[in-house]
Amino acid sequence: MIKPECIKKLKEVVDIVEVVSEYIPNIKRVGKNYFVLCPFHSEKTPSFSISPHHNFVHCFGCKYTADAIKFVQDIEHINYYEAVEKLAKKYNVQIEYVDEEQQKILKEKYDEAQLLTELLTNVAEVYHEILLNSEDAAEARRYLISRGVKQETVVKFKLGYAPDGDFISKNYKSIPKLAKYDLITLYKAGIINFSSKHSGIEKYDYPYDYFKGRIIFPVFNLVGKVVGFGSRIIPSKKVFYSDGNEPPVYINSPETPVFHKGNVLYGLFQSKEFIAKEKSVCVVEGYMDVLIMFQEGIKTVVAPLGTAFSEQQAKILKRFCEKIYLLFDPDEAGVEATLSAAKSIFSVGMYPQVVQIEQKDPDEYILQYGIDQLKNLITNSVSVVKHVVQYYSKNKPQFSVTEKISLLNKFIDMLNVVSNPVIKSELIKEISTELKIDEGVIRSEQRKYNKVYAKSVDVQNVISNKPYTSEEELLWICIHYPEVINEIDDEIFSHNNIYLEIFKTLKTCFLSSKDINEVVSQLQPPAKDIVIRLVFDTDRKIKITPSSLEKKIKELFTEIYKIKIKKRYLELKPIVEEMLQEKVVYNPQIINEFKQIVETLKLARR
Ligand SMILES: [Zn+2]
């Protein structure tokens, strides 16, 4: 367990706007709050709201609520301790654990990741040097030139060459950048592997290089550290192995503590600023497509690493842009890859378009027809449904019933992951038009999918357009000027259970120095919603300044007192009438209270 005082310190120094802006671009300031598109649900207008003063975020669309620590946990998919460590490092807060053992384990894990990315970044530089200068890499250089890759691109993407033989495992001790590491670390980073050999009766492990005779494509994380490699064999090395198998053309680093194929995108580090600026991205299949498109002027391009485009990758892109174009190969595998990628993209609430390229991969297309021609194709991109139907209907006058059913099943599979109702309805319309099947039939075919979805909301409207009750105004003061809370007695809210609960929770939390996150987590709607609205309403129409605070509180007390009395009057009136008609037992205390209330109300009216 982390010592509570460390968490408290961290929460004091953390700047939640800064933390959020590291993950989501285009944060807008409105008054004292900040707004941005929600990373956890799909929306067109920002309802993800950040209150810098309260270390608090809330999405008015999907109701997500968090402080900086929870936000980092959720957006990075890491646990509480990892999130705390990460923020503590950023804000220079020393984290101490009650439990020393746990601290040790976590530190080791963190240090290992640091060590591996540092090593991989060094290895990338070694491979890069070789590609640029070594005699061994002559063929690799020729190959890249033949594929249209220019020197500037080689440098920008730090392409490298892994020589044949076991270059790293044999020489690493004499390579200055690698000399301080050991074989085990090289193995953990996925640079070398071990193989067992028998000599006589003894069996021993010998190390060999993971990449041999290959062009190396380093994969960077978002901060520019290398986490793994993609690679392509150069043509002359494409000889049979001793076991008679041909080596694979492409291989990636194995999964390591820092490399998970489904969580990274090739080219994103180099293209992210352009993607955020243009709010769109092209997803292509290969490293070469990324390099040539970027080089020739479409700088918003990424590729998955030889695996299907995952939902996690779609989520990453969603942080940077609104539009995704799919540019996959024009063959059946490409169409299936398009469908699979589209599913990942639909499931995060985005709507991809397909760029239709005839006969060629994007890189070859550009080199033959020029970048402007490809830009044209992007402008004329079509929907996924249209693309798939066009592909399968090639050279056919019309679909047979069996073919229609097979295609419909593909689409229904896709529909099942869509939770956004607008996207879903649009897709059903398209399927209906393209396959000439009634919309009702498609809807009934599609299994009911009970995923909850959040709708877009007009945040400003929710926050500030509804008038406040006097009780809410007083609660607003308690939230934004917590120093007054001790002066106010529960009694003032006793006529309304919701306000009373809110006030009591605020009081207990603030007095034990817990923040608004704790308050919100203890409350249920509608009390919770009231508090959230009050937190974000920092630009109140009633202008309160610290000097007018006391006067305002007094006014509100008078107002609320009137409300309480009126409420009591309405409660007592029928009882008193019944007493006077002798329908119930006469109670002088109640009659007295009623008389007093009537007098007070008369006074107030004057
Ligand atoms: Zn949301």
Check which CATH number belongs to the domain holding 388 and give it: 3.40.1360.10
Q: Convert the pLDDT of each residue in 286-334 to its tens digit.
A: 999 999 999 999 999 999 997 889 888 998 999 899 999 999 988 888 8
- Please give the average per-residue pLDDT across 389-393, as a whole number: 89
Cα separation, 160 vs 125, in Å, equals 8
The CATH number given to whatever domain includes residue 149 is: 3.90.980.10
Q: Is residue 265 part of a domain?
A: no
C-beta of residue 303 within 8 angstroms of C-beta of residue 252: no
pLDDT of 456 higher than 50: no
Separation of CA 19 and ligand 1 centre (Å): 17
Most confident of 93-102, 313-322, 410-419, 458-467: 313-322
Q: How confident is the model at residue 583 (pLDDT cuts 50, 70, 90)?
A: confident
Contacts of 562 (CB under 8 A, 6+ apart): 604
Token pair of 415 as six digits = 């529909």
Same domain, 304 and 441: yes
DSSP 5-59: HHHHHHHHH--HHHHHHHHS---EEETTEEEE--SSS--SS--EEEEGGGTEEEE
pLDDT at 203: 64
Separation of CA 83 and ligand 1 centre (Å): 20
Separation of CA 532 and ligand 1 centre (Å): 14
Residue 438: helix, strand or coil by DSSP? Answer: coil
pLDDT at 211: 95
pLDDT at 246: 77
Cα separation, 50 vs 65, in Å, equals 10
Cα separation, 350 vs 423, in Å, equals 8
> Running DSSP on this structure, what letter comes out for residue 255?
P
Same domain, 226 and 327: no
Neighbours of 196 (CB within 10 A): 8
Q: How confident is the model at residue 454 (pLDDT cuts 50, 70, 90)?
A: very low
C-beta of residue 91 within 8 angstroms of C-beta of residue 82: no
Token pair of 576 as six digits = 């008193």
Q: Convert the pLDDT of each residue in 96-111 to its tens digit.
A: 887 777 767 777 777 8
Same domain, 505 and 590: yes
Sheet with strand 226-233: strands edge to edge: 160-162, 214-220, 226-233, 250-252
Same domain, 79 and 137: no
Last-in-domain residue among 384, 415, 445: 445
- Please give the average per-residue pLDDT across 327-348, as a whole number: 90
Cα separation, 482 vs 490, in Å, equals 15
Separation of CA 15 and ligand 1 centre (Å): 20
Q: Is residue 271 part of a domain?
A: no
> Running DSSP on this structure, what letter comes out for residue 165?
S
Contacts of 160 (CB under 8 A, 6+ apart): 124, 126, 127, 128, 129, 130, 131, 215, 216, 218
Q: Convert the pLDDT of each residue in 178-187 to its tens digit.
A: 999 999 999 9
Separation of CA 78 and ligand 1 centre (Å): 19
pLDDT at 4: 83
C-beta of residue 554 within 8 angstroms of C-beta of residue 51: no
Q: How confident is the model at residue 602 (pLDDT cuts 50, 70, 90)?
A: confident
Q: Which residue, among 274, 342, 279, 350, has the nearest Cα to 308 in the 3D structure?
A: 342
The CATH number given to whatever domain includes residue 475 is: 1.10.860
Q: What is the mean pLDDT of the chain?
A: 87
Q: What is each CA distance from 13 to 2, 29, 515, in whole angstroms? A: 17, 20, 14
- Long-range (24+ apart) CB contacts under 8 A made by 537-545 are 537/463, 537/464, 537/476, 538/31, 538/32, 538/33, 538/51, 538/53, 538/480, 539/31, 539/32, 539/464, 540/476, 541/464, 542/473, 544/477, 544/481
Separation of CA 41 and ligand 1 centre (Å): 4
Separation of CA 59 and ligand 1 centre (Å): 5
Most confident of 79-88, 127-136, 432-441, 493-502: 127-136
Separation of CA 25 and ligand 1 centre (Å): 15
Q: Is residue 16 part of a domain?
A: yes
Same domain, 424 and 517: no
pLDDT of 116 higher than 70: yes
Separation of CA 48 and ligand 1 centre (Å): 6
Q: Is residue 264 part of a domain?
A: no
Q: How confident is the model at residue 453 (pLDDT cuts 50, 70, 90)?
A: very low
Separation of CA 457 and ligand 1 centre (Å): 10
Q: How confident is the model at residue 386 (pLDDT cuts 50, 70, 90)?
A: very high
C-beta of residue 85 within 8 angstroms of C-beta of residue 97: no
pLDDT at 571: 87
Q: Is residue 269 part of a domain?
A: no
Separation of CA 552 and ligand 1 centre (Å): 35
Cα separation, 57 vs 63, in Å, equals 10
Same domain, 291 and 429: yes
Same domain, 294 and 393: yes
Q: Is residue 458 part of a domain?
A: no
Same domain, 396 and 255: no
Same domain, 156 and 298: no
Residue 468: helix, strand or coil by DSSP? Answer: coil
Q: Is residue 274 part of a domain?
A: no
pLDDT at 446: 73
pLDDT at 271: 95
pLDDT at 372: 94
Same domain, 255 and 117: yes
Separation of CA 466 and ligand 1 centre (Å): 22
Separation of CA 223 and ligand 1 centre (Å): 26
Separation of CA 336 and ligand 1 centre (Å): 31
Separation of CA 462 and ligand 1 centre (Å): 15
Residue 203: helix, strand or coil by DSSP? Answer: strand
Q: Convert the pLDDT of each residue in 222-275 to its tens digit.
A: 888 999 999 999 988 766 666 667 788 899 998 888 998 888 999 999 999 999
Cα separation, 80 vs 558, in Å, equals 46
The beta strands (E) that lie in 62-157 are given as: 65-66
Q: Is residue 28 part of a domain?
A: yes
Same domain, 196 and 314: no
Separation of CA 42 and ligand 1 centre (Å): 7
pLDDT of 452 higher than 60: no
Range of the domain at 556: 466-600
Separation of CA 534 and ligand 1 centre (Å): 19
Same domain, 423 and 478: no
Residue 448 main-chain phi, psi, to 5 deg? -65, 130
Separation of CA 325 and ligand 1 centre (Å): 24
Largest CA distance in the chain: 114
Separation of CA 480 and ligand 1 centre (Å): 25
Separation of CA 67 and ligand 1 centre (Å): 14
Separation of CA 56 and ligand 1 centre (Å): 14
Separation of CA 75 and ligand 1 centre (Å): 12
pLDDT of 359 higher than 90: no
**Single-letter amino acid, residue 442:** I
pLDDT at 148: 95
Please count the structural domains in the chain.
4
Cα separation, 432 vs 438, in Å, equals 6
pLDDT of 340 higher than 70: yes
C-beta of residue 180 within 8 angstroms of C-beta of residue 223: no
pLDDT greater at residue 122 or residue 245: 122
Separation of CA 451 and ligand 1 centre (Å): 15
The CATH number given to whatever domain includes residue 71 is: 3.90.580.10
Cα separation, 321 vs 278, in Å, equals 8
